[in-house]
Chains A and B, each alone.
Chain A
Amino acid sequence: MAIARRSARLDLESSGIWLLLAVAVGAAAATIPVFRDPANLANVLRQSSVLGILAIGQTFVIAAGMIDLSVGMIAGLVVVLACWMLGNDPSLTLAVIALMLTLGASIGLVNGLVVNRLKLHPLILTFGMLSILQGGIFTFTDRSVGRASPMLQAAANDDIWGVPLSTILLVAVLAVFHLVFSRTRFGYHLIATGGNAESARRAGIDVKRIRLACFAISGFCAALAGLLLAGRLGTGYPLAGTGLELDAIVAVVLGGTSLAGGRGSVIRSVGGVVALTVISNVLNLLEVSAFVQMFIKGLIVVGAILANQPRREQP
C-alpha cells in the first residue's frame, strides 16, 4: 500500500526538471512561431553545449558534497590561451586541445590537493582559485588576443545533418560521464562521500582520492567547455568565462542535485542547462530587455529550486 502510494506521487526531485523543460518548450512552441524554426532550435542546442559540459563536471563536485567556483575562469583562461597559441599557427590545434584539457584537469587537481591537504572549504578555495585565474588572465591581456583555429570554430558552429556538432560533442561527453556517475564504483563512492564523508572514510572508501578525481573531472570539463567557447567567439576574449560557474551551479541545482551532496544526476543537470537556455531564448525572441531578463530568470530559478527541494517525510 505504502509503496504503491509513493510511486504514484509525482517525484519532483527527479522529474521536476523535465516538467519545467516540457512546460517551457511547449509554451514557447505554441505561442512563438519563430521558436519552432529549426535554425532557432539548433541555436538553442548550440548555446546549451558550453554550459552543459560545465554543468556535467560541476555535478560530480556538488554530488560529492563540494562546489567548484573556479570553472568559469578555467574556461576563460582556456579561451585566451588557446586563441593566443593558435593565432599564428592553426595547425597546432590538436596539440593545443590536448594541452588545454591537461591544463584544466591539472588546475582541478590543484583544487583537490589543497582541499585535501589544507582541509580548506571548497567554496573558499575555489573562490580563491577563481580570483587567481582572473588576475592571471588580465595580467596576460586586457583585450582580445589571437584567433581560434578553423577547426575549433567548425566544432563550435557547424552542423551535420542539421544537428550542431557541439551538441553531438555534448551528448558524447554526457554519455561517458553519465556512465561514470551512475554505473561505476567511483560514481557510487562519490555519492556516499557527499552523503556522509565520515561514514564513507570508515567504510574504507578513499575519500581524498574521490575528491581529487571530482575536481579533476570538473577542471577537465571546464577546459573542454573553454575550447568550445573559443570556437564560438573566434577570438581570445578575456571576459569570456565570467559568471559561467554560477550558471552551471544553478543548472545543476535545477536538475535536482543536492547542494549538500549525496544525490545527483548528470543527465538532469544537462536538462537544467537546456531549460535555462530555452527560457533565455524565449525572452530574447520576445525582445525582453536584458535587465528584465535577469529579473525573470532569477525568479524562475528560485521558484524552480523551491519546488525541487527534497521533501522529507515525517518520521
Chain B
Amino acid sequence: MIDKTLVPLLAIKGLAKRYPGVVALKGVDLTANAGEVHALVGANGAGKSTLMNLLAGAQAPSEGEICIEGQVVRFDGPASAQDRGIATVYQEFSLVPQLSVARSIFLGREPKSAFGFVDTRRLAERTRALLERFNLKLDPDAEVATLSVADQQLVEIGRALSFDARILILDEPTAVLSFAEQDNLFAVIRQLKSEGMLVLYVSHHLREVLAIADRVTVLRDGEKIATRDTAGLTVDDLVSLMLGRSGAYAKTTGHQPDSADGSLFDITYRTAGPESRLALRGGEIVGLAGLVGAGRTTFARALSGNALSSASVDIGHEGRTLHFSSPREAMGHGVVYITEDRKRDGIFAELDIVANATASALPSLGLGPLRNSRKEQAVSSNILQRLHLVASSLSAPIVKLSGGNQQKVLIGRALLTKPTILVCDEPTRGVDIGAKAEIHEILRGLARSGVAVLVVSSEIEELLALAHRIVVMHERRFVAEMPAHEAEESQILIAASSGSKSMEKNDEA
C-alpha cells in the first residue's frame, strides 16, 4: 500500500514539446500536491501555455510523462484530461451567451428525463448543489449574456468543477476582473484549496501570484528555472528569475515635466451626474486609475471622439473649445486612442503589418487617391524599427505577431498620425513583461517629445511606475489627483473604491 499523502497529486517528469523548428518545452519536472495553489509564471514564450496545453490534453507531449497520484496518464484530447480530473478555465471563455447558468455548466451532460428531454428539475438541483458546495454566488437561471465577465468566469469554473476535477488550471484568471471581483475569485480559490483541489494558476500578475499561490514555478525559454515557496518571495525576486535580471518596472524618475512648458488641455467630461474636469499637459504622462466599471474606458473613448450617447467631452485648448463627433475628427486634431481590446477593434487580423500600421495615416502617404506602397513600406518600417518590433517580415499578417508586437504596431499606427494627445487604454494588457518595459519606454519617449499621454490601466503598479501624475476615477467622475512619486497604492485603491477626495482622512481612519 502506498501512503497517498506521500505521492504528489501531480508529478511531471521530463516533459518536452517540440514543434517543427522550435522546442517549446525542454524537459520540465514539476510536482504539486492536493490542497495547493501552484502558480506558473514566465515571460511570453517561456512555455507556460505549452505546459498548460499538455496538462489540459489539448496537445500531446513529445517526451516525458504526466503522473496523477503516481500513475502515468496519457491524454488523447481535452476530454480524456477531463476524465482524469484535470479541468481548465481558459482566458477566453467558451460559453454560449444565450444559455442559462445551469445549462452552461452541464452543457452536453444535461440530466435527461424519460423521453430524452432535458430534466430541468434535476438540472436545477444539481446546479444549486454545485454552486452551494463551492460557494459560487450565481443565479442558476440567469442567462450567461446578462452576467458580468467575473460571473461568466465563475460559470466557467463551475463547469470545470462539475467534472469532479481535482486539478483546476486557471489561465490568467484576473485579466478581466476588478479588484473586488478578484477578491471574490481568490475566496473561491481558497475554498477549492480547502476542499483538497490542486489549483494551477497561470498569470502575468506577479503580485497576485504572491498573494494567492503557495508555491510558484518559474519558466524561462521552455525550461524550469525554479520552484519556490511564495512565503518571503518578492515581485523583484520573481522578475529576476523570469528575466535573469532584476527590477520589475523601471520607474519614470528624474524627468518631471515642466508644467509651464507643455501646452495645456482643459478637459470637461459630461455624463450622468455632475460634470468633471481634468487637465492634460504636453510632455506629461497622466495615469488614470479606477475600478472596472468606474467609467475610464467610456471617458477615454469620449475624449477621442468615440463617445457613447450618454457621455461627452469638451477640450479647451488655447482659447478654443473642441468637441469631436468621430474618431476621424479627433485624429484630425491630434487626439488618438489606442484600444484596450486589440482583437475586437484594433487590428485588421488578415492584413499585413504595413497595412495595419498605416491604416490611420494613409491620406498623408499617397498621391491623391492613389496609394504609394513604397512610401508606406518605408514609413512603417522606420517607425516600427524605432518601436523595436520583432517580426520576420512586414508583409506577414499581423495575427502572427505576439500580443506585445501587435500592440507596438498599433502604437506605430497612432504615432504615424502625429498625435498631440495619446490615449492608451490598457497599453500592456496581454503583453509579456519584457515588451511591457519597452512599451513603457516608448510612452516615456513620446511624453519627452511633447505629447500629452493619458494611460488607463488596472494595474496600479504600472501607473505608479509610468505616470507623472495619477488621476483616480470613481463612478464616472475624477475624484482624486496626486503626483505619482507621492502616491501610494493604498491611497489610490481607497479613492478608487470609495470615491473619497480627501485621502488623508481615509488613511487616518
Across the interface, which residues of B come within 8 angstroms of A198, CB to CB? 344-345
Closest Cβ neighbor of A187 among chain B residues: B371
Cα A206 to Cα B331 in complex, Å, equals 12
Cα A287 to Cα B306 in complex, Å, equals 61
Cα A311 to Cα B464 in complex, Å, equals 45
The answer on a CB contact under 8 Å between A203 and B351 is no
Across the interface, which residues of A come within 8 angstroms of B50, CB to CB? none
The answer on a CB contact under 8 Å between A192 and B371 is no
The interface stretch among A73-81, A97-105, A178-186, A269-277 is: A178-186
Closest Cβ neighbor of A310 among chain B residues: B350
Asked if A173 CB lies within 8 Å of chain B CBs, one says: no
B311-339, CB < 8 A from A? 326-328, 331-332, 337, 339
Asked if B64 CB lies within 8 Å of chain A CBs, one says: no
Q: Please give the distance in Å from B357's CB to the nearest CB on chain A.
A: 10
Cα A175 to Cα B227 in complex, Å, equals 65
Asked if B285 CB lies within 8 Å of chain A CBs, one says: no
Q: Please give the distance in Å from A129's CB to the nearest CB on chain B.
A: 27
Across the interface, which residues of A come within 8 angstroms of B370, CB to CB? 183-185
Across the interface, which residues of A come within 8 angstroms of B413, CB to CB? 203
Q: When the two chains form the complex, which single residue of B331, B347, B362 contacts A185, counting CB atoms closer than 8 Å?
A: B362
Q: Please give the distance in Å from B369's CB to the nearest CB on chain A.
A: 5
Q: When the two chains form the complex, which single residue of A3, A199, A204 contacts B393, counting CB atoms closer than 8 Å?
A: A3
The verdict on A204 contacting B328 (CB below 8 Å), with A3-B393, A195-B349, A199-B345 known, is yes
Q: Please give the distance in Å from B172's CB to the nearest CB on chain A.
A: 17
The answer on a CB contact under 8 Å between A188 and B355 is yes
Closest Cβ neighbor of A315 among chain B residues: B399
Chain B contact-residue range equals 20 to 34
Interface class of chain B by DSSP: loop
Cα A41 to Cα B143 in complex, Å, equals 61
Asked if A201 CB lies within 8 Å of chain B CBs, one says: yes
Cα A185 to Cα B368 in complex, Å, equals 9
Across the interface, which residues of A come within 8 angstroms of B355, CB to CB? 188, 192
Asked if B366 CB lies within 8 Å of chain A CBs, one says: yes
Q: When the two chains form the complex, which single residue of B344, B349, B360, B392 contacts A204, counting CB atoms closer than 8 Å?
A: B360
Q: Please give the distance in Å from A180's CB to the nearest CB on chain B.
A: 8
Interface class of chain A by DSSP: helix
The answer on a CB contact under 8 Å between B351 and A202 is no
Across the interface, which residues of B come within 8 angstroms of A183, CB to CB? 370-371
Asked if B348 CB lies within 8 Å of chain A CBs, one says: yes
Q: When the two chains form the complex, which single residue of A3, A185, A202, A206 contacts B306, counting CB atoms closer than 8 Å?
A: A202
Q: Please give the distance in Å from B295's CB to the nearest CB on chain A.
A: 19
Asked if A191 CB lies within 8 Å of chain B CBs, one says: yes
Q: When the two chains form the complex, which single residue of B339, B349, B363, B371 contacts A202, counting CB atoms closer than 8 Å?
A: B339
Q: How many residues of chain A get a CB closer than 8 Å to chain B's CBs? A: 25
The answer on a CB contact under 8 Å between B369 and A196 is no
Across the interface, which residues of A come within 8 angstroms of B359, CB to CB? 192, 199-200, 203-205
Asked if B108 CB lies within 8 Å of chain A CBs, one says: no
Q: Please give the distance in Å from A190's CB to the nearest CB on chain B.
A: 12
Across the interface, which residues of B come within 8 angstroms of A262, CB to CB? 348, 350-351
The answer on a CB contact under 8 Å between A185 and B369 is yes
Closest Cβ neighbor of B363 among chain A residues: A185
Cα A199 to Cα B398 in complex, Å, equals 13
Asked if B450 CB lies within 8 Å of chain A CBs, one says: no
Asked if A95 CB lies within 8 Å of chain B CBs, one says: no
Cα A183 to Cα B417 in complex, Å, equals 21
Q: Please give the distance in Å from B342's CB to the nearest CB on chain A.
A: 9
The answer on a CB contact under 8 Å between B369 and A186 is yes
Closest Cβ neighbor of B359 among chain A residues: A203
Asked if A2 CB lies within 8 Å of chain B CBs, one says: yes
Asked if A263 CB lies within 8 Å of chain B CBs, one says: yes
Cα A124 to Cα B190 in complex, Å, equals 52
Across the interface, which residues of A come within 8 angstroms of B327, CB to CB? 201-204
Cα A186 to Cα B413 in complex, Å, equals 18
Closest Cβ neighbor of B344 among chain A residues: A198
A160-192, CB < 8 A from B? 183-189, 191-192
Q: When the two chains form the complex, which single residue of A1, A185, A200, A204 contacts B371, counting CB atoms closer than 8 Å?
A: A185
The answer on a CB contact under 8 Å between A195 and B350 is yes
B401-418, CB < 8 A from A? 413, 417
Per-position contact with A for B179-198: 1 when CB-CB < 8 Å, else 0? 00000000000000000000
The answer on a CB contact under 8 Å between B328 and A205 is yes
Q: Please give the distance in Å from B366's CB to the nearest CB on chain A.
A: 5
Asked if B346 CB lies within 8 Å of chain A CBs, one says: yes
Cα A188 to Cα B339 in complex, Å, equals 21
The answer on a CB contact under 8 Å between B347 and A199 is yes
The answer on a CB contact under 8 Å between B371 and A196 is no
Closest Cβ neighbor of A192 among chain B residues: B348
Q: When the two chains form the complex, which single residue of B21, B349, B360, B369 contacts A203, counting CB atoms closer than 8 Å?
A: B360
The answer on a CB contact under 8 Å between B331 and A184 is no
Across the interface, which residues of A come within 8 angstroms of B347, CB to CB? 196, 199
Q: When the two chains form the complex, which single residue of A187, A189, A199, A263 contacts B346, counting CB atoms closer than 8 Å?
A: A199
The answer on a CB contact under 8 Å between A191 and B362 is no
Cα A185 to Cα B355 in complex, Å, equals 11
Closest Cβ neighbor of B331 among chain A residues: A204
Per-position contact with A for B58-86: 1 when CB-CB < 8 Å, else 0? 00000000000000000000000000000
Residues of B in contact with A (beta carbons under 8 Å apart): 21, 306, 326-328, 331-332, 337, 339, 344-351, 355, 359-360, 362-363, 366, 369-371, 392-393, 413, 417
Could you give 21 example pairs across A and B, Cβ below 8 Å?
A: A2-B21, A184-B366, A184-B369, A184-B371, A189-B362, A195-B351, A196-B347, A201-B306, A201-B326, A202-B339, A202-B345, A202-B346, A203-B360, A204-B327, A204-B328, A204-B332, A204-B359, A204-B360, A204-B417, A205-B359, A262-B351
Known contacts A2-B21, A196-B347; 4 further A-B pairs (Cβ under 8 A): A185-B369, A196-B348, A199-B344, A203-B359
The list of the 10 closest CB pairs from A to B, nearest first, reads A198-B345, A203-B359, A204-B331, A204-B328, A195-B348, A204-B360, A203-B360, A184-B369, A185-B362, A199-B345
Residues of A in contact with B (beta carbons under 8 Å apart): 1-3, 183-189, 191-192, 195-196, 198-206, 262-263
